Amino acid sequence: MRKFFTILISLSFLSFTLPASPANGAELVQAGPAGKIHGADISRWQHPNDKPINFKKMRAAGIDFVMIKASDTREYSDRLALKYVKGDRVGAQDAGIHTGFYHYALLPNVTTNSAIERDARVQAQKVIWRIGALGGFNDLDLPYALDLENNCVKVSSSGSCSKYATRAHATLWSKTFLAMLKEKTGRTPLIYSSPYFLENALNRDKELSQYPLWIAQYAINPAAPEARPNVKPGGCYVHSWTTAQCSANWTMWQYSSCGIAPKYGVSGNRLDLNVFSGTPEKFESLLTGTWLPEPADLMPVGESSTITISSVKATTTNKSAVIAIEVTRPDSSPVVTGSVKFYFTSANATKPTVAQKLVRETSGSWTLSISGLPAGTWFGSVAYKDPSGTHADAKTLVELTITQAEAPAPTPTKKAPSKPATDSCRNQIKN
């Protein structure tokens, strides 16, 4: 009895003398400019030559949160994001750093509201599956963010943008994507963009303004008194988040893309740096609510798919053969992942060397251009393949008949003008 009483006294003493740990196990150090909560954002570019990030060094340098690229509209970039997101999340959280995620989005080249909404839902589905693959949200996870900074939907042969999404379509797409993500996970996602894009590419919209803003604007020091993003020469940017004081109702601010990477345990020279707008209590409010995926929230495996050739245009040797392709799921909705390519079949006596250019029009829909086909009839197949294994592979036969074009008159090759080298970090904050 005496021994038991002694143990009780010791336990009571410890309960009064040990410091309390935060509920999520990661105490905020607030080591950013002007004592703000400091963060970074990372992607495959912070893994040059596959090198890992030293998150313990990042934490020791005062980073409280890191936003990790977890998904992308583009297939190649999406697979690279998937390659690193799991390890980066574990490494950051083990070091005591809160983690958030973002989806880099490209808008579809479609003209109807229904098609806009369909593409947004498909891209949101990719994000939900990605969160599901991570095991859902835990209490060290910040919400997902939509990275929307490009409204080009068609690129010309010279590489310049030849068609932009309308303000109405870009706004509708954003609201559809964000609403589906919020409804499914119970967490309110953020939207990342520059004030210039918000002003010029989106409509002012009350519903859109309800989502927390992660704003990107450089060359303004967050440590300076009265420093705020959203200003421009002669006034301020006007968009859904603009306040009466010419500022923006922002939650996170990416203030530099020129952070000193080695200082934070990252190989290379540059690192995006961010600050949080408010108090630790406000930051903690973003962490409320965990989300565990149900079986229906996980990526299917080998789900059947159907490939359809919408149109074929093959004429002469001086023009590319153009094939429009659609691939759908069993419920006739577009596939979420995967891509298409043309393959010659054994029915050809020879297999010429050709160049293929694939353009994503919208989710599950592509335009495939094949240049370099000699005159003749060529047999092949358009094959859909999904390296993720989500959807089953599929293929369909295609026959291309090409006639010989007249030889074009020779034209002198123009030398591209050289552009002077510029230092993109010249006016940025180098913390």
Rounded to whole angstroms, the Cα distance separating 385 from 393 reads 5
Identity of the residue numbered 290:
T
How much is the average pLDDT of 253-272? 96
Confidence bin at 21 (pLDDT 50/70/90) = very low
Q: 2-11, 28-37, 75-84, 182-191 — which is least confidently predicted?
A: 2-11
How much is the average pLDDT of 302-317? 96
Burial of 57 (0-12, 13-18, 19+ CB in 10 A): middle
Nearest to 211 by CA among 182, 253, 247: 182
- pLDDT of 264 above 60: yes
- Tens of pLDDT, residues 185-235: 999 999 999 999 999 999 999 999 999 999 999 999 999 988 899 999 889
Rounded to whole angstroms, the Cα distance separating 138 from 141 reads 5
Q: Give the per-residue pLDDT at 24.
A: 54
How much is the average pLDDT of 172-181? 98
- Tens of pLDDT, residues 88-115: 999 999 999 999 999 999 999 999 999 9
- Tens of pLDDT, residues 270-298: 999 999 999 999 999 998 877 888 888 89
- Tens of pLDDT, residues 391-413: 999 999 999 999 999 876 777 77
Confidence bin at 11 (pLDDT 50/70/90) = very low
Side-chain-facing half-sphere of 270: CA atoms under 13 Å: 14
User: Which residues are CB-neighbours of 3 under 8 A, at least 6 positions away?
Assistant: none
Q: Give the per-residue pLDDT at 354.
A: 96
How much is the average pLDDT of 141-151? 97
Confidence bin at 17 (pLDDT 50/70/90) = very low
- pLDDT of 7 above 50: no
How much is the average pLDDT of 335-352? 96
Question: Is 28 strand, coil or helix?
Answer: coil
SS3 content of the chain, % helix, strand, coil (to 5): 25, 30, 45
Confidence bin at 162 (pLDDT 50/70/90) = very high
**Percent with pLDDT over 90 in the chain:** 82
DSSP state, residue 156: -
Q: Give the per-residue pLDDT at 29.
A: 93
Confidence bin at 416 (pLDDT 50/70/90) = low
**Token pair in block for residue 81:** 């994001």
Other CB atoms within a 10 A radius of the CB of residue 400 amount to 19
Nearest to 197 by CA among 146, 157, 234, 162: 146
Ramachandran region, residue 90 (left: φ > 0; alpha: ψ -120 to 50; beta: rest): alpha
Confidence bin at 138 (pLDDT 50/70/90) = very high
Rounded to whole angstroms, the Cα distance separating 377 from 16 reads 85
- pLDDT of 268 above 90: no
- pLDDT of 167 above 80: yes
Query: What is the pLDDT of the chain when averaged over all its residues?
Result: 91
**Token pair in block for residue 254:** 């990416």
- pLDDT of 58 above 50: yes
Q: Cα dist. 390→35, 87, 106, 201 in Å?
A: 45, 21, 21, 33
pTM here?
A: 0.90
Domains of the chain: 25-297 (3.20.20.80), 306-402 (2.60.40.10)
- pLDDT of 53 above 70: yes
Alpha-carbon torsion, ordered 360, 365, 369, 375, to 10 deg: 170
Question: Is 245 strand, coil or helix?
Answer: coil
Helix (H) or strand (E) holding 312: strand 306-313
User: Which residues are CB-neighbours of 385 under 8 A, at least 6 positions away?
Assistant: 338, 339, 340, 341, 393
